[in-house]
Chain A
Amino acid sequence: MTVSETSTASAGPARTAPAPIEGRSSGHAGRWRRRAELTLLIGPAALLFIGFVIVPMVVAVHYSVYRWSGFGPLTDKVGLHNYSYALHDPDFRASVLHNAIIVALSLLLQLPLSIALALLLNRRMHGRAALRLIVFAPYVMSEAITAVIWLLMLQPHGFVDQVLDVVGLGGWTHQWLADQHVVLYTIFVVATWKYIGFGIILLLAGLQGIAHELHEAAALDGASAWQVTRWITLPLLGPTIRIWIFLSVIGSLQLFDLVWIMTLGGPANASDTMSVYMIDHGFRRYEFGYGSAVAVILFLICFAFALVYQRFALRRDTEGAMTRAVG
């Protein structure tokens, strides 16, 4: 809130809001009128935003220093105990690790796969429009319904197992949701099913923005298809990829619906994510003070990631709005 008028300049040259009319309604009346208009325009949004985005986080910080079951007065002030408990709790650490694994798998598997598929599909093909529709459909479905569907399909001797049998991969069947060593990867696969279409569409849109002439020029210069891809296409796809990474990481950090419906974080917390941990402690154990502390930690993790990522990766691509939000 300390940024002053000067920052208008940073909003981008030649796109700055038109100022010439300022003088039109001159005098005190005009200034008051303008102020009233601005209040009327921005006030409702600001109130709503403060009331339901900012205040809850402030409230969380307040509750987080108490041991509190969720009702009655706040009497048991424990300072930073909740925070240190969370940071030392092996279950919480495990849930952070699980989120990190999902993020890493997304970057190492989902992203290359999306790029490869987008490159393959970026050509004139029969049924391309239909394909675009199909791969995108899971993305618009709710995660809860996705979870219910996959929960049914992943039952022992269920649909997935039988499909594997049919295609001769019967040996691959697992206790998809009951084996602690498998369950997290099962959830990752379901998440990939749901979200990969989004990545492909995004990347295809990015590819379409790359001028075709560039490719042709490179080909004339004797570059192989691989070289064109490596040295021209991928770098130009950079902004799209960086946006994908941002959305994917924020999405992975908030993973909840799939886990909650399919496994409740089990067995033995093997699929616990940070959000599941928070809800479990808050709403099942009535540790609302502690749950608030966990919420604050989650918020800080998201915030730190967004900030760092904006600073170092996204800076070139966006208007820098988010960076300035805190910078």
Chain B
Amino acid sequence: MRRNRRWAAVAGLVASLSLVAACGSNGDDGSGGGSGSQNAGGAVTLTWWHNATADPGKSEWQKIADSYHAQHHNVSFTVDPIQNEQFNSKVPAALESSNPPDLFQQWGGGAEATQVQSGKLMDMTSQVSSWVNQLGPSAKGWQVDGKWYGIPYDYHIVGFWYRKDLFQQAGISSPPKTMSELDSDVSKLKAAGISPIAIGSKDRWPDAFYWEYFVLRECPQATIASSIAKQDFSDACFTKAGTDMSSFLKTNPFQSGFLGTPAQQGAGSSAGLVANGKAAMELQGDWEMAVMPSLATDKNFAQKMGWFPFPSVPGGSGDQGAGLGGGDGFSCTSQATSACPDFLKYITSTPVQKQLIKSLAVTLPSNPGANSAISIPTLKVVLKYLGGVSYNQLYFDQALPTNSGQALDSAVADYFAGKGSPSSIAASVAQGAGP
């Protein structure tokens, strides 16, 4: 449900709604209660915080909880859908309290590691080791110090979605592999009177995908990891990435008025433009395929969609095969019973994963056994690429502490609007750069 996250993320109002940080320092929601409480008969109620506040996810999770309960009568659920952005604040507050939920949304990365320090997360290693390997190497993003504190149920990766029909119209025979090829394709599309790339800059985070991908191409993995950990982007490769992005922006690849375009809202959004053939490409996550159907007037648009990874930057010292993405998962808290990891096993089991895919609640399953349920051919391409990436870097705004991550997104967005410089983007993250 990263899509959901993104949808909510900076969709303006909803952003703030959700932002509404920290409702919980007082544990004001009664729902936190009853956590993992065991009755005499061994009955247990799991309080479950997930981020699917809208359908299909919302009813899908409820269905899954119900069917698990049907098989395990002693386990019931209190399901609390919570606006996505709130997790950043609600979970730390809940972990400080005596009454955290038993099961909650987990995106892994730096945030999970911080949560582990509270001592409230369940080390599930012994319960999950027998089956967790089926989730592939990407699941390691939910490990902290080699122990399992979270389990992913889907993965995400960002890449270019493009219109095969428009590429053909512009005389482009195959998707670009390097930046210079992308640049020349942009000019070809322009020459054919087609808006080359759509972007939803009103929401800011789509801008950051570009910068982050240029960083992946220019900076070695170890540099990125240590720079994020130190919140110090002073290595020259970060400025180099900014310079690459700068020359790319100089080609004016985006639709007119892109600074005011939302990412996913309405036919005029960047996703809507591509879905309706008004622009040829968009750099977005796999969730795009779940966003577009409601925006497209052409019901057959999916067949016209293709996908290619972010092009390589020749001469860059980064990994040209690295991907940018993440995934969604859940963590259990230490007060929960072993029913909690068992439920995660259920969620990642092949039949449930297939069900999640069919309902569009999930696009790329963490359990490859469910891959066959994917019906959209282009998503299979994405899946295949994801299986072969050298590593899948977590979105920087997720990997960094919230204020630095947001400052980075803003700095990149400012640069898209013509403010700042490649070095000012890198500097925006430095500790003490903010107030």
User: Which residues on A are within 8 Å of B, measured CB to CB?
Assistant: 67, 69-72, 81-82, 85-86, 89, 155-156, 175-180, 183, 260-261, 263-264, 266-270, 279, 281, 283-290, 293
For chain B, residues 1 to 60, give those with C-beta under 8 angstroms from any C-beta of chain A: 10, 12-13, 15-16, 19-22, 25
For the A-B complex with A67-B435, A267-B417 known, give 13 more contacts whose Cβ atoms are closer than 8 Å: A86-B435, A89-B435, A177-B260, A180-B259, A260-B12, A263-B260, A264-B15, A268-B419, A270-B417, A283-B20, A284-B16, A287-B434, A293-B435
Determine whether the beta carbon of A156 is less than 8 Å from that of B202: no
A193 to chain B, nearest CB (A): 19
Closest A residue to B9 by CB, please name it: A284
- For A177, the chain B residues whose CB sits under 8 A away are 260
Per the bound structure, the CA–CA distance linking A284 and B203 in Å amounts to: 13
Q: Are A156 and B16 in contact (CB under 8 A)?
A: no
Partner of B19, one of A71, A155, A176, A283: A283
Cα distance A260–B12 in the bound complex, in angstroms: 7
In angstroms, Cα B25 to Cα A85, docked, is 28
Q: In the complex, which residues of chain A have a beta carbon less than 8 angstroms from the beta carbon of B434?
A: 285, 287, 290
Q: How far is the CA of A71 from the CA of B435 in the complex (A)?
A: 17
Q: Using a CB–CB distance below 8 Å, which chain B residues touch chain A?
A: 10, 12-13, 15-16, 19-22, 25, 88-89, 92-93, 96, 201-202, 204, 256-261, 266, 268, 402-403, 406-407, 413-414, 416-419, 434-435
The contact sample of 9 A-B pairs, CB cut-off 8 A, is A70-B21, A71-B92, A178-B260, A263-B202, A264-B12, A266-B201, A266-B260, A285-B434, A289-B435
Indicate whether A281 sits within 8 Å of B16 (C-beta atoms), given known contacts A71-B89, A286-B402, A287-B403.
no
Contact A178 B257 (CB under 8 A): yes
Shortest distance between the CB of A153 and any CB in chain B (Å): 13
CB distance from B388 to the nearest CB of A (A): 36
B16 touches A267 (CB 8 A): no
Known contacts A261-B13, A268-B259; A286 and B201 CB within 8 A of each other = no
Known contacts: A155-B268, A268-B419, A279-B16. The answer to whether A71 contacts B93 by CB under 8 A is yes
Taking CB atoms, residues of chain B closer than 8 Å to A86 are 435
Give Cα distance in the complex from A289 to B434, angstroms. 12
Residue in A closest to B259 when the chains form the complex, CB atoms: A267
Q: Which 5 A-B pairs have the closest CB atoms?
A: A178-B260, A268-B417, A267-B259, A290-B435, A283-B19
Partner of A284, one of B15, B96, B261: B15
Residues of A within 8 A of B266 (CB): 155
Nearest to B10 among chain A residues (CB) is A264
A267: which of B15, B19, B92, B201 is its contact (CB, 8 Å)? B201
Of listed A69, A71, A260, A266, residue having the most chain B CB within 10 A? A266
How far apart are the CA atoms of A290 and B433 in the complex, in Å? Answer: 13
**A175 to B258 Cα, complex, angstroms:** 9
Least Cβ–Cβ distance between B401 and chain A, in angstroms: 8
**DSSP class of A's interface residues: helix, strand, loop or mixed?**
loop
Separation in Å of the A57 CB from the closest CB of chain B? 20
Q: A265 to nearest B CB, angstroms? A: 10
Given A156-B257, A178-B261, A260-B13: A70 and B435 interface contact (C-beta under 8 Å): no
Is the Cβ of A82 less than 8 Å from the Cβ of B435?
yes
CA distance A286 to B402 in the complex (A): 7
> How many whole Å from B199's CB to the nearest CB in chain A?
12
Question: What is the CA–CA distance of A268 and B257 in the complex, to the nearest angstrom?
Answer: 13
Measured between C-beta atoms, what is the minimum distance from A155 to chain B in Å?
6
Q: A71-B93, A156-B268, A267-B202 are in contact. Are A286 and B403 (CB under 8 A)?
A: yes
The minimal Cβ–Cβ distance linking B230 to chain A, given in whole angstroms, is: 18
| A156-B257, A260-B16, A266-B413 known; A72-B435 Cβ under 8 A | no
- B358 → chain A, closest Cβ, in Å? 34
User: When the two chains form their complex, are residues A285 and B406 in contact, meaning their CB atoms are under 8 A apart?
Assistant: yes
| Cross-chain contact A284 with B12 (CB below 8 angstroms) | no
Q: Contact: A283 with B16, CB < 8 Å?
A: yes
Within 8 Å CB of A266, what residues of B?
Answer: 201-202, 204, 259-260, 413, 417
Kindly state the separation between the CA atoms of A264 and B13 in the bound complex, as whole angstroms: 8
Tell me, in angstroms, the Cα distance from A163 to B248 when the chains sit together.
36
**Closest-CB distance, A289 to chain B (whole angstroms):** 8
CA distance A279 to B22 in the complex (A): 14
Known: A177-B260, A263-B260. A286 touches B21 (CB 8 A): yes
Q: Are B96's CB and A268's CB within 8 A?
A: no
Provide the bound-state CA to CA distance between A179 and B201, in Å.
12
Cα separation A72 to B258 with both chains bound (whole Å): 39
Closest to A176 in B: B260
Contact check: which of A72, A175, A285, A293 meets B407 at CB < 8 Å?
A285
The residue of chain A having its C-beta at the shortest distance from the C-beta of B18 within the complex is A283
**In this complex, what residue of A is CB-closest to B203?**
A264
Can you name the residue of chain A whose Cβ is closest to the Cβ of B12? A264
Give the residue of B202, B403, B407 whose beta carbon is less than 8 angstroms from that of A264: B202
Inter-chain contacts of B201 with A (CB < 8 A): 266-267
Alpha-carbon distance A67/B416, docked complex (angstroms) = 29
A289 contacts which chain B residues (CB < 8 A)? 435
What's the Cα separation between A268 and B201 when bound, in Å? Answer: 10
Is B435 touching A178 in the complex (CB atoms < 8 A)? no
Assess the A175–B257 pair: CB atoms within 8 A: yes
* Chain A residues with CB under 8 A of B416: 268
Given B25, B259, B413, which contacts A71 in the complex, CB threshold below 8 Å?
B25
Nearest chain A residue, comparing its CB with the CB of B418: A268
Give the CA-CA distance A172 to B432 in the complex, in Å.
45
Q: How far is the CA of A219 from the CA of B420 in the complex (A)?
A: 62
CA distance A176 to B20 in the complex (A): 29
CB <8 Å contact, A286 and B89:
yes
Contact B268 A268 (CB under 8 A): no
Docked-complex contact B93 and A268, CB < 8 angstroms: no
Closest partner residue, chain B, to A266 (CB atom): B202
Instruction: Find the B residue at minimum CB distance from A269.
Output: B414
Q: Which of B92, B419, B435 contacts A85 (CB 8 A)?
A: B435
Which residue in A71, A155, A264 is a CB contact (below 8 Å) of B96? A71
Residues of chain A with a CB closer than 8 A to B414's CB: 268-269
Report how far A178 CA is from B418 CA in the complex, Å.
13
